[in-house]
Amino acid sequence: MVDLNDILAAQERIKEHANRTPVMTSRTIDRLTGCKVFFKCENMQRGGAFKFRGALNTILLLNDEERSRGVVTHSSGNHAQALSLAASMLGVKATIVMPENSPKVKVNATRGYGAEIVFCKNNVESRVQTANRLVEEHGFTMIHPYNDERIIAGAGTAALELLQDHAPLDAVFAPVGGGGFLSGTSIAVKGISEDTLVIAGEPEKADDAYRSVRDGKIYPSVNPNTIADGLRTNLGDITFDIIRRHTDRIVTVSEEEILNAMRLLLERMKLVVEPSGAVSLAALLKISGDLVERRVGVLISGGNVDLDPFFRSYHE
Amino acid sequence: MVDLNDILAAQERIKEHANRTPVMTSRTIDRLTGCKVFFKCENMQRGGAFKFRGALNTILLLNDEERSRGVVTHSSGNHAQALSLAASMLGVKATIVMPENSPKVKVNATRGYGAEIVFCKNNVESRVQTANRLVEEHGFTMIHPYNDERIIAGAGTAALELLQDHAPLDAVFAPVGGGGFLSGTSIAVKGISEDTLVIAGEPEKADDAYRSVRDGKIYPSVNPNTIADGLRTNLGDITFDIIRRHTDRIVTVSEEEILNAMRLLLERMKLVVEPSGAVSLAALLKISGDLVERRVGVLISGGNVDLDPFFRSYHE
């Protein structure tokens, strides 16, 4: 079971290579929410998302034999980029299974960091089967994108830094997809300050974590056609176990609420975020009436978004 | 003549209301340039650009009679927003003359802050004539967007903060349009550290400042059809005088070089910047071979860009 000491050890392990990302504030959003909000900008992490923390922590924990076999994972994008980057930095071969409808920007970035890409169908079974087949055929070391204690410990270092810099906080918001980020966050937060609320944001169109915690069993994520492409996966047994114990609340948000939060982050705070990265703010905006005058942390998970439509407007 | 003491006084005057904007770094850009680069993020200033500093400083220096008459200015956008915001905060009526082809996002924001907008033709003469007519007809107090010592002193507080936080720097890059930002920057930089180079970036398609300094006379900006809409104006007599004395070099950059710098800022640093805001980085990228291993400051002037084409891609 991951605990605060694992997260502190991960922080020490990755600090040479990972960014201590900035924390931003906004008068506009403080006014809109009635809270004092601290945004932890994991969109500015290497590879463009918090995922680099867990990927790097995990590869650093592999032994020589595991590294020499090369690593494999399946990911909709950000874990793919993160593992590709961390592996290439440490001279480890990486192979990534990506759904065929992954955002082009994430596919290109993953390839750009040096990984080999194998495409699969756009569902969880195809991802897992394809990755397992590669493990059998080539002997690769599997690194699961979230249901892994080393990944979770790495992911928890973002909330750890936020609390080290800005405690005390009354609540911390994180998005939930597969649950790695939320698991690491909740262990870091509750380990440092038991009274701080841990609140998750989840797309209504991929609300499997909400229903799983409510009913006490893991539901699969069926046709999760949310724009928050990083949150389409379902919980794993490890993340489910952590989240049901340490997360105080899961707030589901509509697609429009996600886009509205994204607009605030891009237009008012001038931060490039991806839809998944805006879900935590969308959740805060939805329930901010419960947190008036509180000090609130909001984790922005990533910023890997396709900007071609924006740049095309300059060539018209 | 503006000096460092005026800028220090402006800093004290505006500090309650203006943001002390963050300074960001990037491993990617350090690697690309061979320098250690510090980005001063005025895109995160209130109103989305450095302009708020000068507008606020100027309104705070008006006497009661001048304030009661209301203020007027002409601006392609960022000074318009800044003056509108600063005026409304202090209960002063503002009227803004804007070229009819100003970016919609800037027009809407200016109106949103409470100013009245009067449109004019898209050239310098029309702007000036329209503003002068409003002064005559209504008795408004004219606040020039850049050729004004109070505006320049306010603009200089951005570079002042950058040096206070990250000195020593070997060079500081700023964009030049009308020259207010570059004037304030050069006075702040040279006042603190005479050996620090002040280098301007200017679009090739609006290179009137480059030619003006070279030839020792102010050229008008004729049909400046650069995407850097904030840099289409020509120098004024005050800014020309300061720039020719205190700026070490003006580097002109192509439209493609501006877009390339913008892409790095958005995609790699996750910062929303407008084309004018990327011109200083474009200049650094062009001459970074002259600054290898140096500590370099880059002023990002603003981030008010039309994001509708980007968001439309989520509704397709």
E strands, A183-229, where? Answer: 197-203
Closest partner residue to A263 among B19, B309, B311, by Cβ? B311
- Residues of A whose CB is below 8 A from B273: 270
pLDDT bin (cut points 50, 70, 90) of residue A316 is low
Which among B78, B262, B273, B310 is the top mutation candidate for probing chain A, defined by the most A β-carbons within 10 Å of its own β-carbon?
B310
> Distances from the Cα of A180 to the Cαs of A77, A211, A291, in angstroms?
15, 17, 25
Mean pLDDT of chain A: 95
Contact yes or no for B272 and A272 at CB 8 A = yes
Cα first-last separation, chain B: 55
CATH number belonging to domain A4-48+149-304: 3.40.50.1100
Retrieve residue B212's tokens: 């003006």
A40, A51, A106, A190: the active-site residue: A51
Q: Sheet containing A249-253: give its strands across.
A: A23-24, A36-41, A295-300, A171-175, A197-203, A249-253
Contact yes or no for B271 and A270 at CB 8 A = yes
Instruction: Answer yes or no: B51 catalytic.
Output: yes
pLDDT bin (cut points 50, 70, 90) of residue A101 is confident
User: Nearest-CA neighbor of B160 among B314, B7, B39, B3?
Assistant: B7
pLDDT tens digits, B97-137 = 998 888 787 888 899 899 999 999 988 789 889 999 999 99
CATH number belonging to domain B51-142: 3.40.50.1100
Exposed, middle or buried: residue B168 (CB in 10 Å: 0-12, 13-18, 19+)?
A: exposed
Domain residue extents for chain B: 4-46+156-304, 51-142
For residue A254, give how far its alpha carbon lies from the nearest alpha carbon of chain B (Å). 14
| Residue type at position A39 | F
pTM (two decimals):
0.95
pLDDT in tens, chain B (316 residues): 899 999 999 999 999 999 999 999 999 999 999 999 999 999 999 999 999 999 999 999 999 999 999 999 998 789 999 999 999 999 999 999 998 888 787 888 899 899 999 999 988 789 889 999 999 999 999 999 999 999 999 999 999 999 999 999 999 999 999 999 999 999 999 999 999 999 999 999 999 999 999 999 999 988 889 999 899 989 999 999 999 999 999 999 999 999 999 999 999 999 999 999 999 999 999 999 999 999 999 999 999 999 999 999 887 6
Question: Measured between alpha carbons, how far is A195 from A210 in angstroms, rounded to an integer?
Answer: 22
Assigned CATH topology for domain B4-46+156-304: Rossmann fold (3.40.50)
Q: What per-residue confidence (pLDDT) applies to B316?
A: 62
User: Nearest-CA neighbor of A119 among A166, A77, A60, A160?
Assistant: A77
pLDDT tens digits, A111-167 = 989 999 999 998 878 988 999 999 999 999 999 999 999 999 999 999 999 999 999
Cβ–Cβ under 8 Å, residues B182 and B152: no
